[in-house]
């Protein structure tokens, strides 16, 4: 057993040491621009790197073949540890956050939630802004997949980590025979989309700095921005359109993007039942929100209602969390519908959060099957998605996931309400964090800076719980996990 824990320690040490490298690009930017944050990033680099080396060095030769349960422990721990150590620059540089708020900001970046406790983004040093965006970028495809892709030297049974990290109900689908190759393939697609997004933003009128920063948080469906007013800063339908396109691409299974790139075909997009449902939800929600905005007189023209309503629907459905005009004060059902779209989320295998369209498809089909079974008790009905039968074990697993997801949501909402928050703020804060959407209503409409420390820690936990899709974290809380 000793070798097992030493191997786990070796992985933690390597990940912490590697986390120090995240501070290098902003340190270079700070040096080039003569910003005072240069020293803070250097200090962070030394502190985080030294801590990682101290963990790694004594057990650098340890080796143990990890099991599936180790994958859950390591994955969850890596996200927690990464959030704890990447918080340090937010304390040492502007905006000089408390450790509680700094962890929230770092966790929000890495889990691609996009919620923030910072007010006055426009006044922050560019190096700090770049650092925030880079957290979104790294979290988008998952820091664990990054580790599996570029660190075969860890000698970890990569599949254990990949299974724990991947999103959606179809975790065992590998694009290539070797897991590290699969992770590298996904990263190539992710980088390619991010570069195209940056170029499109730049050509659309953003500065080069803003274009790169927002590309890092768009494909990642992260939602961090370099401006307090997010996309409302530009008042540009063209830039909003570019954002909508790449948010949608980020919300689609990256395995499909890889296949399109590898085979130079798009036919598989047309045949995918989950993608079809995802787009149908986006179109219907856009029409409902736009009709609500136009008929209530909130926007004078149908074009404006479609523009702003469509942008916000795509932003919330893909759990990105960008805003243009801010939807909290929109009339009627729009604000609540937009928050609820975050529960749906994007497709399985995407960078989006939420419960995923594929799971909701299965749950709805399972519900319809039960109704048919009541009418025809002796009939034999199967759950099908995209014309294919779904095994009973997957249906049961998905039903269990959705149940645990909603119970977690209710428990954490009650915890926030018990701490003194009004029910709308508590409800939307947990919805924003668990679904990794980042935007809420009332007290958390613009930022989370007004929440108390207890609420901030609960929200930080919710972000990691949502990013790792509940099971990966909650399995650690069961006695059976720790018993041999």
Q: Of 330, 346, 366, 359, which is closest to residue 441 (Cα–Cα)?
A: 330
Q: Of 419, 441, 443, 383, which is closest to residue 169 (Cα–Cα)?
A: 383
Give the 3-state secondary structure of 260-292: HHHHCCCHHHHHCHHHHHHHHHHHHHHHHHHHH
* Cα–Cα distances in angstroms (integers) from residue 226 to residues 14, 122, 223, 335, 344, in the given order: 30, 6, 10, 24, 27
Per-residue model confidence as pLDDT tens digits over 258-309: 899 888 889 999 989 999 999 999 999 999 999 999 999 999 999 999 999 9
Determine the longest span between alpha carbons in the chain, in angstroms.
Answer: 76
253 is in an annotated binding site: no
112 is in an annotated binding site: yes
Spatial contact of 460 and 103, defined as CB atoms under 8 Å apart? yes
Q: Of 365, 100, 153, 353, which is closest to residue 250 (Cα–Cα)?
A: 353
320 is in an annotated binding site: yes
Whether residue 418 is predicted with pLDDT greater than 90 in this model: the reply is yes
Cα angle: 58, vertex 160, 56; to 5 degrees = 10
Within 13 Å of residue 223, how many CA atoms lie on the same side as its CB?
38
Higher pLDDT, 88 or 144: 88
Whether residue 159 is predicted with pLDDT greater than 60 in this model: the reply is no
226 is in an annotated binding site: no
Higher pLDDT, 90 or 158: 90
* Cα–Cα distances in angstroms (integers) from residue 309 to residues 47, 235, 433, 435, in the given order: 45, 14, 22, 20
Higher pLDDT, 483 or 266: 266
Residue 143: which pLDDT band, with cuts at 50, 70 and 90? low
Residue-level pLDDT at 484: 66
Residue 389 pairs in a beta bridge with 384
Residue-level pLDDT at 243: 98
Residue-level pLDDT at 62: 83
**Would the pTM count as exceeding 0.95?**
no
- DSSP symbol at 167: -
Percent of the chain residues topping a pLDDT of 90: 70
321-358: b or e for each residue (b if 16 or more CB lie within 10 Å)?
bbbbbebbebeeebbebbbebbbbbbbbbbbbbbbbbb
Query: Which sequence spans correspond to the domains of the chain?
Result: 128-163+175-408
Helical (H) or strand (E) element with 388: strand 388-389
Spatial contact of 119 and 228, defined as CB atoms under 8 Å apart? yes
Structure tokens, 219: 């494909």
Q: Mean pLDDT for the chain? A: 91
In the predicted model, what is the mean pLDDT of residues 415-443?
A: 96
Residue-level pLDDT at 163: 60
C-alpha span between 450 and 179 (Å, rounded) = 43
222 is in an annotated binding site: yes
Q: Of 145-149, 377-381, 417-421, where does mean pLDDT reach its minimum?
A: 145-149
388-389 and 384-385 beta bridge pairing:
antiparallel
Residue-level pLDDT at 226: 97
Whether residue 68 is predicted with pLDDT greater than 90 in this model: the reply is no
Per-residue model confidence as pLDDT tens digits over 178-219: 777 878 888 899 999 999 999 999 999 999 999 999 999 999
Residue-level pLDDT at 156: 46
Query: Which contacts of 156-159 are long-range, i.e. CB under 8 A and separated by 24 or more positions?
Result: 156/11, 156/66, 156/74, 157/65, 157/66, 157/67, 157/71, 158/183, 159/71
Residue-level pLDDT at 154: 45
Residue-level pLDDT at 380: 86
Cα angle: 92, vertex 436, 283; to 5 degrees = 140
136 is in an annotated binding site: no
Whether residue 394 is predicted with pLDDT greater than 90 in this model: the reply is no
Percent of the chain residues topping a pLDDT of 70: 93
Spatial contact of 57 and 146, defined as CB atoms under 8 Å apart? no
202-233: b or e for each residue (b if 16 or more CB lie within 10 Å)?
bebebeeebbbbbbbbbbbbbbbbbebbbbbb
Residue 157: which pLDDT band, with cuts at 50, 70 and 90? very low
Residue-level pLDDT at 153: 43
Whether residue 369 is predicted with pLDDT greater than 80 in this model: the reply is yes
């Amino acid at each position: 057993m000793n070798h097992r824990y030493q191997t786990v320690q070796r992985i933690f040490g390597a990940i912490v040491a590697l986390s120090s490298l995240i501070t290098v690009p902003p340190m270079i930017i700070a040096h080039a621009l003569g910003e005072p944050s240069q020293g803070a990033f250097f200090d962070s680099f030394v502190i985080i790197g030294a801590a990682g080396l101290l963990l790694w060095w004594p057990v650098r030769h340890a080796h143990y073949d990890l099991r599936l349960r180790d994958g859950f422990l390591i994955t969850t721990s890596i996200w927690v540890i990464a959030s704890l150590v990447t918080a340090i620059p937010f304390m040492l540089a502007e905006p000089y956050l408390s450790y509680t708020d700094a962890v929230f900001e770092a966790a929000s970046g890495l889990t691609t939630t996009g919620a923030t406790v910072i007010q006055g983004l426009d006044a922050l040093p560019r190096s700090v802004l770049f650092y925030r965006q880079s957290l979104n970028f790294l979290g988008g495809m998952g820091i664990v997949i990054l580790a599996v892709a570029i660190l075969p030297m860890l000698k970890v049974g990569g599949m254990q980590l990949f299974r724990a990290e991947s999103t959606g109900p179809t975790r065992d689908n590998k694009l290539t025979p070797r897991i590290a190759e699969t992770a590298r393939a996904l990263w190539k697609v992710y980088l390619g989309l991010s570069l195209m997004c940056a170029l499109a933003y730049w050509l659309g009128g953003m500065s080069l700095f803003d274009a790169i920063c927002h590309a890092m948080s768009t494909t990642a469906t992260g939602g961090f921005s370099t401006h307090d007013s997010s996309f409302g800063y530009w008042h540009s339908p063209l830039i909003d359109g570019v954002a909508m396109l790449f948010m949608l691409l980020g919300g689609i299974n990256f395995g499909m993007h890889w296949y399109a790139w590898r085979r130079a075909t798009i036919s598989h997009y047309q045949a995918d039942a989950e993608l079809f449902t995802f787009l149908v939800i986006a179109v219907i929600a856009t029409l409902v929100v736009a009709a609500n905005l136009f008929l209530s007189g909130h926007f004078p023209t149908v074009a404006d209602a479609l523009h702003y309503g469509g942008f916000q629907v795509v932003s919330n459905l893909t759990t990105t969390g960008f805003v243009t005009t801010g939807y909290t004060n929109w009339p009627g059902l729009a604000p609540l519908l937009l928050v609820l779209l975050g529960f749906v989320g994007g497709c399985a295998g995407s960078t989006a959060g939420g419960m995923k369209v594929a799971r909701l498809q299965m749950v709805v089909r399972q519900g319809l099957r039960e109704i048919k079974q009541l009418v025809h008790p002796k009939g034999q009905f199967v759950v099908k998605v995209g014309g294919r039968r779904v095994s009973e074990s997957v249906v049961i697993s998905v039903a269990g996931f959705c149940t645990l997801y909603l119970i977690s949501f209710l428990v954490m909402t009650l915890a926030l309400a018990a701490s003194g928050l009004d029910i709308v703020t508590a409800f939307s804060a947990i919805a924003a964090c668990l679904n990794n959407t980042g935007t809420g209503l009332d007290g958390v409409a613009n930022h989370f800076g007004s929440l108390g420390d207890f609420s901030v820690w609960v929200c930080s936990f919710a972000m990691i719980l949502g990013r790792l899709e509940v099971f990966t974290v909650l399995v650690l809380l069961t006695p059976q996990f720790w018993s041999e």
